[in-house]
């Protein structure tokens, strides 16, 4: 089907004026003969204010009522855009969770899409309607509303693109695309024309906020081409596609990502027994602590263990640690940042690690933790060295 | 079924704290063995803010998108109350339009309830759930969300009470009941213990804001006993029931109502031909002008015609009038109020009209228009005479 799925995020929907702008854009594109399906998030700030009310009443509750509450945000967005399209005499139809055929698991607040019945959507498209689907929400087999978790509207858009075999899934955001580094940290960074799915997945997991990893994963699995675009600036954006490893001619590294939501826990005088590690990390797992990088070293029968976690998991982590180590053996490094270079080209190129280290050595930065994979190298370094490190890495891998 | 339907309005839901209070009250009543079903409105001010956004985009649009937008308000209320009940370990279940089985016409923004499939609700009640139904909304045969218009949540509550044969439908509001006169106008007014359906209907149509006429009409038709109560003060409130005409012992008049949303149009030099009236009022009807009271008089071949309309219909009325009369023959009296005495006892008592006029004569007020029915007398008088007129009428019919 010659169809374009378009997803607009909260910042593109921050006001009535912005909603009217989207309507204008859709009219224009329809005049050019483009057949679209629109997926919307909640208006900017709306979901957060609902979460706040929910937490005031019952903190940490996650069940059906929470999802019913949160799904109202997307409902409002689609209704308002529908009003704007009605005013412009565009034949359109709103579809909420129970109408769009998106069936999910019943894991409330983090439901997974299980199947999509596209019959209704296909009929609407055939009849010339512009369907407006409330993102982020689905419905269980027994007719209960669910939500898909953070970034859930992107997931809705990609899942519908896959089911309807859309040409492309356009994700409209408040940035013009994915950049070689965060432009707020390194203003010379440039927009990337195209990225492979695996690169984008790594970047999402390494701190790039542009797309959530679940959405890229699904796009990769179902071969949905994504275009990341700015919602009002008319620029080409970044394509996320099934990219072949670039050969000699391509660049080795596609982008430099960083993530400030990281801190390092260092334990000294630990046992080097594998059983100790197994028990410790199992206990942390039970408390839902997300462990990112781990490093262990033994020196003259004394062992030490470092690992990184998100800031938000610190309380839980310390609760677990007190059963395993003495307080004086725990140090917390919270002024840290994870910096990564990502690129499918790395798999074919030797010496990337060498170049990475030689760049870092120019900054004379300490490295707390380090990991590598086929297509990325990550290091956790002191936060104060972030800017300078991004600069030298960018220079090393992009020559500017 | 030994069931109590409880409807809480927007002012009882104005904050998270108030929602918690309702939850506490429900827990308490459940402990006493009361089986309930709850219907909620949107939180105070919420629907108005949605309407404002809708009007900013597309003023006067009333269609599916408008109803989808507005129905989100009740969705939020039921979700938040459900959270509060979950915290208190009360087995409860939220039901939105498409889940509660309330099927309506497809007249968007003013849909009429056509049927209610109570299977799901009855099953939930049997399984010991406290059902929380989003008021004000329904669903068409083809699965589109509709809303029921102003006061729609009361209607939902009464309709569910009828279908489930509830013992009573309790309407929780921000007043402690229906009074013999508006206490803001006449502080000596007292709360009425019970009112007949027809009296309450007259009062609703005569300006009492406590219940909407549609809801009382439905209650009357389906013999649903209503109790109007304050949402936090524990007082008995007012019962609206199938009241027999009170005999000699009962009071003749139940209450004094007034309505400031009225103005009088006086036309002079009009034709006395019935055809003129027929054409004029048909034309006004086509413009959806609501005509309340009419009076025509002929004196020496000169005719004049007066009628009353709500303030909001003035523009439309003047538009129509310019095709029928000269501008200099139109006068508008907009500082007017409609004052009424209501009571089923009137039907059995002569002389009520006489007592009404004698009371008004004490105030020496002008009377612009007058109507009577079996159970009420209404007069439109200058607004400046409102307080004093209520006082003398209250004295005449209640002796205090």
Residue of B80, B123, B145 to mutate, interface with A, max A Cβ within 10 Å: B80
Whether B69 has a pLDDT exceeding 90, the answer reads: yes
Of B56, B65, B143, the CB nearest to A79: B65
| ipTM of this complex prediction, to 2 decimal places | 0.82
Please, which residues 328-387 of chain A have a Cβ atom closer than 8 Å to chain B?
none
Under 8 Å CB-to-CB from A271, ≥6 apart: which residues?
A: A303
- CA of B350, closest CA in chain A: separation in Å? 56
Cα A307 from Cα A291, distance rounded (Å): 7
In total, the C-beta contacts within 8 angstroms joining chain A to chain B are: 107
Give pLDDT, residue A248.
Answer: 46
Q: What is the pLDDT of residues B229-244, one digit of tens each?
A: 998 888 999 999 987 6
Give pLDDT, residue B97.
Answer: 85
- CA of B138, closest CA in chain A: separation in Å? 14
If you average pLDDT over residues A288-316, what whole number do you get?
86
Under 8 Å CB-to-CB from A243, ≥6 apart: which residues?
A: A194, A195, A196, A197, A199, A344
Of B2, B41, B240, which is closest to residue B154 (Cα–Cα)? Answer: B41
Please, which residues 125-144 of chain B have a Cβ atom closer than 8 Å to chain A?
143
In chain B, residues with a C-beta closer than 8 Å to the C-beta of A76 are: 50, 69, 72
- CA of A58, closest CA in chain B: separation in Å? 6
Interface check A124 vs B, CB under 8 A: no
Q: What rounded mean pLDDT belongs to chain B?
A: 91
Higher-confidence position of A252 and B315: B315
Q: What is the pLDDT of residues A186-245, one digit of tens each?
A: 999 999 999 999 889 888 888 888 888 889 999 999 999 999 999 888 899 999 998 765
Please, which residues 89-108 of chain B have a Cβ atom closer than 8 Å to chain A?
93-94, 96, 98-99
- CA of B80, closest CA in chain A: separation in Å? 7
Which residue of chain B has the CA closest to A65?
A: B79
Rg, C-alpha atoms of chain B: 23
Cα A134 from Cα A38, distance rounded (Å): 9
Give pLDDT, residue B273.
Answer: 81
What domains appear along chain B, each with residue ranges and CATH number? 3-174 (3.40.1160.10)
If you average pLDDT over residues B146-167, what whole number do you get?
94
Whether A247 has a pLDDT exceeding 70, the answer reads: no
Handedness of CA A255, A261, A267, A273 (dihedral sign): negative
Contact assessment for residue A108 and residue A63, using Cβ atoms and an 8 Å cutoff:
yes
How distant, in Å, are the alpha carbons of A232, B197, B335, B349, B355 from that of B346? Answer: 68, 15, 29, 5, 11
Under 8 Å CB-to-CB from A241, ≥6 apart: which residues?
A: A194, A195, A196, A197, A225, A226
Q: Is B54–A83 a contact, with Cβ atoms under 8 angstroms apart? A: yes
Of B119, B98, B116, B121, which is closest to residue B35 (Cα–Cα)? Answer: B121
Contact assessment for residue A241 and residue A197, using Cβ atoms and an 8 Å cutoff:
yes
Residue of B16, B49, B68 to mutate, interface with A, max A Cβ within 10 Å: B68
Give pLDDT, residue B60.
Answer: 84
Distance between first and last Cα of chain B: 42
Of A16, A57, A61, the CB nearest to B19: A57
Give pLDDT, residue A245.
Answer: 56
If you average pLDDT over residues B156-163, what whole number do you get?
97
Which residue of chain B has the CA closest to A142?
A: B99
Interface check B190 vs A, CB under 8 A: no
To 10 degrees, what angle do helices B314-321 and B274-286 make?
140
The whole-model pTM stands at 0.84
Task: Indicate the SS3 state at residue B50.
Answer: helix
Q: What is the pLDDT of residues B335-365, one digit of tens each?
A: 999 999 998 877 777 778 888 888 888 999 9
């Amino acid at each position: 089907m010659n169809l374009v799925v378009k997803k607009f995020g909260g910042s593109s929907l921050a006001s009535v004026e912005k909603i009217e702008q989207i309507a204008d854009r859709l009219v224009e594109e329809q005049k050019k003969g483009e057949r679209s399906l629109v997926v919307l998030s909640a208006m900017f700030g709306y979901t957060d204010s609902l979460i706040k009310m929910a937490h005031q009443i019952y903190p940490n509750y996650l069940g059906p009522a929470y999802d019913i509450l949160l799904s109202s945000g997307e409902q409002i967005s689609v209704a308002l855009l529908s009003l704007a399209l009605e005013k412009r005499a565009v034949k359109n139809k709103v579809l909420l969770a129970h109408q769009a055929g998106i069936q999910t698991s019943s894991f409330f607040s983090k439901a997974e899409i299980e199947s999509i019945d596209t019959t209704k959507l296909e009929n609407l498209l055939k009849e010339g309607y512009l369907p407006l689907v409330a993102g982020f929400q689905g419905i269980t087999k027994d007719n209960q509303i669910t939500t898909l978790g953070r970034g859930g509207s992107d997931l809705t858009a990609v899942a519908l693109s896959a089911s309807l075999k859309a040409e492309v899934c356009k994700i409209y955001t408040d940035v013009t695309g994915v950049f070689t580094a965060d432009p707020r940290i390194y203003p010379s960074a440039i927009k990337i024309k195209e990225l492979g799915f695996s690169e984008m997945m790594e970047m999402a997991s390494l701190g790039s906020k542009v797309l959530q990893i679940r959405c890229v994963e699904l796009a990769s699995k179902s071969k949905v081409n994504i275009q990341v675009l700015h919602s009002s600036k008319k620029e080409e954006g970044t394509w996320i596609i099934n990219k072949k490893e670039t050969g000699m001619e391509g660049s080795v590294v596609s982008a430099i990502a960083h993530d400030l939501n990281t801190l390092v826990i260092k334990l000294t005088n630990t046992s080097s027994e594998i059983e100790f590690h197994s028990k410790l990390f199992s206990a942390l797992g039970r408390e839902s602590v997300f462990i990112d990088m781990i490093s262990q070293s033994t020196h003259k029968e004394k062992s030490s263990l470092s690992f990184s976690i998100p800031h938000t998991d610190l309380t839980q982590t310390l609760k677990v640690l007190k059963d395993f180590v003495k307080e004086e053996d725990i140090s917390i490094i919270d002024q840290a940042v994870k910096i990564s270079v990502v690129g499918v080209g790395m798999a074919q190129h030797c010496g990337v690690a060498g170049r990475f280290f030689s760049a870092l050595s120019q900054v004379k930065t300490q490295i707390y933790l380090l990991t590598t994979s086929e297509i990325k190298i990550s290091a956790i370094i002191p936060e104060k060295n972030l800017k300078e490190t991004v600069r030298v890495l960018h220079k090393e891998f992009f020559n500017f």
